[in-house]
């Protein structure tokens, strides 16, 4: 039986081989990832075949299925296109503003309570806007992800209570201290994300978006108006329980907040659209559900889970904890948190692993700011969550049309690395220390 270190090394080699094969033959690397997961995880490693099969990320696949079917109706009957027409028409005199409008939409929708799930509502519309306004479509996942992250951790948004729980579980058991750190993180995220988006906007030359000459959009038809109402209802239904539980916390609001989420709302919304015949159900299931992307994302996730099970996160975490001087610690947590988030869940792996390390360093008297380390870790792990192998990246990519998906797959990986570099550089110059 191979050692854990050897298994991790083989997984890294397999990832490189898988990506190279995919680029050379333009095929679905998810299937190759599944094959390597069985070979390394079961044939050479300690897992059984059925344990490796269980590495298939059911949660990610279900979210992709539920949201793509629901938004498929808005795409199929032209509602998203009609909304995009109105946004492009409103900004036609300021073409440089079109990419920024996507960022602002994510910023607002996330900030009014939805949290980072705002990407589900903004990305489908953003890709249509990019095609009509003729700017680089890579700015859509960047603007959507970073915009939603900017306000997703505010006290009244979905991320606020989640971050309090994560910080308490990491060691800050005093509720007032945990709440203070979580709320300060929420507000510190806003300027940091705005700077990150601004850098990417100029690197992607968003200011060179073309001026569009177009007539005033025609009024929406009956199907589109009904679909728009359902979209708004789903948005409010996803947001309202979180806000009520934040303001009027009790057993009822807690139940609603824990049992109503974007998956449930999307399924119910899709059923209503289906009953009202607002789109071609068969066409949506065949063309709007990103089956190809789902196989790719879930297959690579299976392979990376083999490395995680072998202790990859623990190895990196132990080395990080003992190898960096205090002033570089925010950058170090940004770097390794971001790298880990490429391959595994930030919420279930990266934060539970690395936040307790930050608490331990604080208890041992480090001069590094706890808030700076927490902010650098959480933001960067979410930045690289734009990678199409992660949940957020997969959700955004699944909402694009097939042509755009094929063009963006590898570019989203490279721009996740760019965001990682931006965050590490921001940490090294003390950007995350400004807030304490």
The CA angle 264-267-273, to the nearest 5 degrees, is 140
Are 182 and 228 within 8 A, CB to CB?
no
User: Which residue, chain included where needed, has tokens 């094969």?
Assistant: 21
- Alpha carbons 276 and 404: distance in angstroms, whole number: 30
- Alpha carbons 152 and 286: distance in angstroms, whole number: 33
Q: What is the DSSP string of 236-303?
A: HHHHHHHHHHHHS-SHHHHHHHHH--HHHHHHHHHHHHHHTT-S-HHHIIIIIS-HHHHHHHHHHHHH
Are 433 and 400 within 8 A, CB to CB?
no
So what's the pLDDT on residue 117?
65
- Alpha carbons 106 and 127: distance in angstroms, whole number: 13
So what's the pLDDT on residue 313?
61
- Alpha carbons 152 and 118: distance in angstroms, whole number: 8
Torsion of CA 236, 242, 246, 251, to 10 degrees: 120
Backbone angles phi, psi at 260, to 5 degrees: -120, 115
Are 131 and 85 within 8 A, CB to CB?
no
So what's the pLDDT on residue 347?
67
**Tally of helices (H runs) and strands (E runs) in the chain:** 21, 0
Those residues with Cβ within 8 angstroms of residue 180's Cβ, 6 or more apart along the chain or in another chain: none
SS3 readout for 371-401: HHHHHHHHHHHHHHHHCCCCHHHHHHHHCCC
**314-351 pLDDT tens trace:** 676 567 667 778 889 999 999 988 987 886 667 666 77
- Alpha carbons 87 and 125: distance in angstroms, whole number: 10
| Other Cβ atoms within 10 Å of 5 Cβ, number | 12
User: Which residue, chain included where needed, has tokens 């948004």?
Assistant: 157
| Other Cβ atoms within 10 Å of 425 Cβ, number | 13
So what's the pLDDT on residue 158?
61
Those residues with Cβ within 8 angstroms of residue 52's Cβ, 6 or more apart along the chain or in another chain: 37, 38, 41, 42, 302, 306
Query: Chain-centre distance of CA 129, in angstroms?
Result: 20
Q: Which residues of the chain have pLDDT under 50?
A: none
Q: Strand, helix or coil at 54?
A: coil
pTM: 0.75
Those residues with Cβ within 8 angstroms of residue 131's Cβ, 6 or more apart along the chain or in another chain: 137, 404
- Alpha carbons 72 and 63: distance in angstroms, whole number: 14
Backbone angles phi, psi at 108, to 5 degrees: -75, -50
Query: Chain-centre distance of CA 161, in angstroms?
Result: 18
Backbone angles phi, psi at 217, to 5 degrees: -60, 145
- Alpha carbons 27 and 17: distance in angstroms, whole number: 13
So what's the pLDDT on residue 78?
86
Q: Which of 396, 327, 332 is nearest to 149 (CA)?
A: 396
**DSSP label at residue 154:** S
């Amino acid at each position: 039986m191979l050692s854990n270190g050897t298994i991790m090394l083989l997984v890294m080699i397999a990832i490189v081989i898988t990506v190279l094969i995919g680029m050379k033959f333009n095929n679905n690397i998810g299937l190759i990832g599944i094959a390597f997961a069985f070979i390394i995880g079961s044939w050479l490693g300690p897992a059984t075949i059925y344990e490796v099969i269980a590495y298939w990320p059911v949660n990610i696949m279900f979210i992709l299925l539920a949201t793509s079917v629901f938004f498929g109706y808005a795409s199929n009957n032209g509602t998203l296109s009609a909304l995009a027409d109105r946004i492009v028409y409103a900004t036609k005199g300021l073409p440089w503003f079109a990419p920024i409008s996507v960022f602002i939409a994510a910023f607002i929708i996330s900030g009014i309570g939805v949290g980072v799930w705002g990407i589900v509502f903004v990305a489908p519309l953003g890709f249509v806007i990019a095609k009509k306004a003729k700017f680089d479509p890579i700015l859509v996942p960047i603007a959507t992800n970073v915009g939603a992250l900017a306000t997703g951790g505010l006290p009244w948004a979905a991320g606020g209570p989640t971050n309090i729980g994560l910080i308490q579980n990491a060691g800050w058991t005093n509720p007032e201290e945990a709440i203070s750190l979580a709320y300060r993180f929420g507000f510190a995220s806003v300027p940091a994300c705005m700077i990150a988006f601004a850098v990417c906007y100029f690197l992607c030359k968003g200011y060179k978006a073309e001026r569009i000459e177009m007539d005033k959009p025609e009024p929406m038809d009956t199907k589109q108006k009904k679909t728009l109402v359902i979209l708004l209802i789903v948005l409010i239904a996803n947001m309202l329980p979180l806000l009520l539980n934040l303001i009027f916390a009790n057993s009822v609001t807690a139940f609603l907040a824990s049992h109503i989420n974007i998956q449930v709302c999307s399924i119910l919304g899709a059923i209503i659209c289906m009953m009202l015949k607002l789109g071609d159900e068969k066409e949506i299931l065949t063309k709007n559900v990103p089956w190809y992307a789902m196989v790719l994302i879930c297959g690579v996730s299976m392979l990376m889970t083999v490395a995680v099970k072998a202790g990859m996160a623990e190895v990196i975490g132990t080395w990080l904890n003992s190898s960096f001087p205090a002033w570089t610690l925010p950058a170090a947590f940004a770097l390794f948190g971001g790298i880990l988030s490429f391959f595994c869940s930030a919420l279930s792996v990266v934060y539970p692993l690395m936040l307790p390390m930050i608490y331990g360093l604080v208890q041992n008297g480090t001069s590094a700011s706890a808030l700076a380390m927490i902010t650098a870790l959480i933001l960067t792990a979410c930045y690289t969550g734009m990678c199409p192998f992660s949940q957020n990246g997969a959700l955004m990519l699944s909402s694009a049309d097939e042509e755009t998906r094929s063009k963006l797959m590898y570019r989203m990986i490279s721009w996740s690395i760019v965001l990682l570099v931006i965050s590490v550089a921001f940490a090294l110059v003390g950007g995350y220390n400004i807030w304490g």
